[in-house]
């Protein structure tokens, strides 16, 4: 049985092209630069905002293997929060093992 893709319940990174009204409208995001660094890899800046306005992003993949919710490079949390942390757009649901 497949499992549901976790949703990005909110994202406060308002200068990202996929963000509007504190929601992420990419179809799916990728998280994690390093095992212990849960950066949103999908973040990018543009003068126009994009994404599918009726979509709420899922977490398509996560490379932050040091997170308790990470199972074989996929996220098993029910949903995640994203926001700025130390000048980077990060998954705030990250929990070190
Ligand atoms: S979750 Fe990532 S891609 Fe989506 S709006 Fe936030 S920073 Fe941008
Ligand atoms: S909660 Fe953990 S496994 Fe899920 S996206 Fe965030 S850092 Fe990755």
Measured distance CA(34)–CA(50) in Å, rounded? 27
> What is the distance in A from the centroid of ligand 1 to the CA of 50?
11
- Pocket flag, ligand 2, residue 75 (CB < 6 Å): yes
Average confidence score pLDDT of the chain? 95
Q: Which residue has the higher pLDDT, 54 or 12?
A: 12
Domain boundaries, the chain: 7-91
Measured from the Cβ of residue 45, the count of other Cβ atoms closer than 10 Å reads 8
Give 30-52 pLDDT, tens digit per residue.
Answer: 999 899 999 999 999 998 988 88
- Binned at pLDDT 50, 70 and 90, residue 1 comes out as low
| pTM listed for this prediction | 0.95
Q: Which residues pair with 37 in a beta bridge?
A: 34
CB of 32 within 6 A of ligand 1: the answer is: no
């Amino acid at each position: 049985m497949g499992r549901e893709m976790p949703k990005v319940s909110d994202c406060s990174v308002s200068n990202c092209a996929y963000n509007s009204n504190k929601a992420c409208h990419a179809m799916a995001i990728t998280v994690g630069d390093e095992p212990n660094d849960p950066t949103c890899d999908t973040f990018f800046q543009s003068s126009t905002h994009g994404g599918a306005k009726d979509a709420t992003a899922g977490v398509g993949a996560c490379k932050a293997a040091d997170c308790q919710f990470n199972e074989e490079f996929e996220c098993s949390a029910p949903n995640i929060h994203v926001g700025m942390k130390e000048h980077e757009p990060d998954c705030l649901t990250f929990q070190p093992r």
